[in-house]
Amino acid sequence: MSHSISDAKPAAAGAPAATRLASRRLPRWSPLAIAVGAIVVGVAIGAGFGLKSHLQWGLIALILFVGGSYAITAQVEGRRQAKDRVATSLIWASFILAVIPLYSLVQTTISKGVKVLDGTFLTHSMNNVLTIEPGGGVYHAIIGTLEQVAIATVIAAPIGILTAVYLVEYGRGTLAKWVTFFVDVMTGVPSIVAGLFILSLWFVALGKAPASGFAGSLALAILMLPVVVRSTEEMLKLVPNELREASLALGVPKWRTITKVVIPTALGGITTGVMLAIARIAGESAPIALLVFGSNMINTNPFSGPQSSLPYYIYQQYGNGNDPSYARAWGAALVLIAFVMILNLVARGIARWKAPKR
Amino acid sequence: MTTVETPPTAPPRKAATVTRPGDRIFSGLSRGAGILLLVVMAAIAVFLTVRAVSAISKDHGNFLTTFEWTPSLNPPVFGIAVLAYGTVVSSIIAMLIAVPISLGIALFITHYAPRRLGGIIAYVIDLLAAVPSIVYGLWGALFLVPHLKGLNLWLDDYLSWTVIFHKSDPNSAARSLLTVGILLAIMILPIITNVSREVINQVPKMHQEAALALGATRWEVIRLSVLPFARSGVISASMLGLGRALGETMAVATVLSASPVLSAHILDPVGGTFSQNIVAKFGEADEFGRDALIASGLVLFVITLLVNGAARLIIARRKEYSGANA
């Protein structure tokens, strides 16, 4: 560090007399000028050599820009400043590079999804609809998703919240350490493995693996559990200790303190965490493919028979491999994204609204 | 698990002389929930192992080195060589692309963008982390695959001599491990960016201001005070992303045109991954075939367990001596 900083000194010392304390700087408009120059030259080279892909033109311009600004800055301001310029342009480039596909994903889904999205699409199933023809809808899939997610939430939310309470309020010693570690590890269990687990559980317990929405819900609950634990834990930790102490000092039993003081204080955050977890599992399709199988008909009973679900519906429609099915897949993708995004936005809204005021 | 049962409450003084039944029930319940979670993890390992062992014992090929996946043949032959190779290669490609770019975006948000713009970008990227993988899969198959054809041809034209970028049939669609890797990279970008950004935000302001006061440029501040502090956090963020890339199912299943060929040419539309193979073969599998798939799922489970466990251990070690997380 000391070495690289000391580089600057000779430059400053080399300046005649003490009239100028600052070293030479490029004018503020120079990056823009270099960029324009790079684009012009890039286009000229691209057009001159007859390169077809405009992406290549852009790449040439980018390389020219980075190289040009390094060379010019190194001449005027010195190597350190030049490196800084290059780092800045690389970081901007990485940002732009990432924005392109993510923007394209959202834009494609919306523009293609809107075409099929209408009242019929939302209120009809795929029963008796030929896959090669337009028509049909996602009603059965929406029902399936809502039911499966609801059951998973009913299972995972209480267990998750209780586990978090254990970790924050009671957990001392080995057991708590193990639970903390495995909550973290569980976050990384691939969804397909959760599906395979329920499948083998079914095989061992029943000797067969009947399709049902409930089986899918169990797998989803496994995926949801660690997310709920983690977020609830964070929220409970934010509750000030003074509140607990005040309550205990008044002679309130510990469990009443937790249920009447600690949890209500953190309720906004806990709700947010649960909703974010719901948003995560609502998009899971791999366990559904193994356990619920998917169906074209409306099946409102999650405990028997195959059901559909929005993500699995998208997969099925994609698998059909024709344009009307692709259109339906995009429509369902838009519905699913909208659902997940609304959950996210509402959850974050609650978090902001209920956040402890400081 | 052998902790003392009677005074479970935190205050160490003699407050716990009166143990109310409500207290005991509630602490029992919450401890039970924690134990249940451990039981579930153990059960996943045990049940998968039981089914997997019964399948592997009947495998007439070598489970680790066989290319084909044909458990329905008589005698059954199946192995994970192609799947393991495809999973590892596509994840490596994803990491090579995603980690530098994510770090770039995280630095962009924290150090380069105007503050308000940075906040908005962070929020949007948070939201993008919630986009379901099947949507990435659909977009990857219908949009990315046709658009990557040009890149594929370009790589084949100019870098064919590297063997890696050799494309056997230039006309084949870009449903290759490279495309899968790129798609996975796009998928895990938001997660790695989010976690890295949080770590970078924790870098003590004093360190950075001290560097600035010594006349460091912005890049030197990042290189000398930000990156050393955030390194382990970024590593564990990347490993979380890696865990996700390894286990990703639907996005791979829609994009890759799978076949039991182990090829060094990552532009060729061949190969497979664990989870893609499970989803693709599940429909036609009989009970034994499903056990075979469960066996491959067990391998995937163990791999992701190791990756995630390592990531968590790095974070945990970091917490002990950083002091910034307190």
CA separation, residue A129 to residues A124, A308, A312, B115, B195 (Å): 10, 15, 17, 52, 45
CATH 1.10.3720.10 is the classification of domain A139-354: yes
Q: Give residue A342's Cα distance to chain centre.
A: 14
Determine contact: A248 vs chain B, CB below 8 A. Answer: yes
**Facing residues of B128 across strands?**
none
What is the spatial distance between Cα B201 and Cα B248, in angstroms, rounded to a whole number? 29
Which residues of chain A, if any, have pLDDT below 70? 1-21, 51-53, 355-358
Look-up of token digits 């209780």: A162
From chain B, pick out residues whose CB is under 8 angstroms from the CB of A185: 41, 305, 308-309, 312
Across the interface, whether the CB atoms of A88 and B139 are under 8 A apart is answered no
From chain A, pick out residues whose CB is under 8 angstroms from the CB of B26: 254-255, 258-259
Domain spans in chain A, listed from the N-terminal domain onward: 2-12+23-107, 139-354
- Candidate from B8, B130, B297 with C-beta closest to A280: B130
| Number of other residues whose CB lies within 10 A of the CB of residue A70 | 18
Q: Which amino acid does the sequence have at A210? A: P
Q: Which amino acid does the sequence have at B17? A: T
Q: Quick one: average pLDDT of B134-144?
A: 92
Per DSSP, A20 falls in state -
What is the spatial distance between Cα B150 and Cα B135, in angstroms, rounded to a whole number? 23
Residue B323: which pLDDT band, with cuts at 50, 70 and 90? very low
Say what the pLDDT of residue B318 is: 62
Range list of H helices, B202-264: 205-213, 218-221, 227-247, 250-255
Say what the pLDDT of residue A40 is: 87
Range list of H helices, B57-176: 81-107, 115-128, 133-139, 145-147, 149-159
- Candidate from A91, A185, A318 with C-beta closest to B112: A91
- Candidate from A55, A254, A283 with C-beta closest to B9: A254
CA separation, residue A181 to residues A169, A235, A320 (Å): 17, 18, 42
- Candidate from B10, B22, B100 with C-beta closest to A255: B22
From chain B, pick out residues whose CB is under 8 angstroms from the CB of A158: 33
pLDDT tops 70 at residue B230: yes
Do B293 and B280 form a contact (C-beta atoms < 8 A)?
Answer: no
Alpha carbon of A53: minimum distance to chain B alpha carbons (Å): 8
Say what the pLDDT of residue A247 is: 93
Determine contact: A322 vs chain B, CB below 8 A. Answer: no
What is the spatial distance between Cα A266 and Cα A233, in angstroms, rounded to a whole number? 10
Output the DSSP codes for B161-183: GGSTT--S-TTS-S-SHHHHHHH
Across the interface, whether the CB atoms of A340 and B47 are under 8 A apart is answered no
The four Cα atoms B302, A188, B176, B173 give a dihedral, to 10 degrees, of 140
Tens digit of each residue's pLDDT (9 = 90 or more) over B121-132: 888 888 888 889
Helix (H, G, I), strand (E, B) or coil at A212: strand
Token readout for A230 is: 């983690």
From chain A, pick out residues whose CB is under 8 angstroms from the CB of B137: 314-315, 318
Do A125 and A299 form a contact (C-beta atoms < 8 A)?
Answer: no
- Candidate from A95, A101, A162 with C-beta closest to B186: A101
What is the spatial distance between Cα B93 and Cα A195, in angstroms, rounded to a whole number? 27
What is the spatial distance between Cα A160 and Cα B34, in angstroms, rounded to a whole number? 8
Of A126, A121, A149, the C-alpha closest to A302 is: A149
The four Cα atoms A154, A156, A161, A164 give a dihedral, to 10 degrees, of 180
Q: Quick one: average pLDDT of B60-88?
A: 84
Say what the pLDDT of residue A197 is: 92
Say what the pLDDT of residue A335 is: 93
Q: For chain B, give the number of residues.
A: 326
Say what the pLDDT of residue A52 is: 66
Do B165 and B181 form a contact (C-beta atoms < 8 A)?
Answer: no
The mean of the pLDDT values for chain B is: 84
Tens digit of each residue's pLDDT (9 = 90 or more) over B15-65: 555 678 888 899 899 999 999 999 999 999 998 998 888 888 888 878 888
Pairing of strands B69-70, B77-78: antiparallel
Look-up of token digits 């099915």: A325
Interface test with A, best of B18, B117, B189, B219 (most A CBs within 10 A): B219
Residue B301: which pLDDT band, with cuts at 50, 70 and 90? very high
In total, the C-beta contacts within 8 angstroms joining chain A to chain B are 298
What is the spatial distance between Cα B280 and Cα B215, in angstroms, rounded to a whole number? 58
Q: Which amino acid does the sequence have at B26? A: F
Distance between terminal CA atoms of chain B?
A: 27
Q: Kindly report the CATH class assigned to B70-322.
A: mainly alpha
CA separation, residue B278 to residues A224, A289, B252 (Å): 22, 10, 11
Do B306 and B231 form a contact (C-beta atoms < 8 A)?
Answer: no
Output the DSSP codes for A219-231: HHHHHHHHHHHHH
Domain spans in chain B, listed from the N-terminal domain onward: 1-57, 70-322
Across the interface, whether the CB atoms of B138 and A333 are under 8 A apart is answered yes
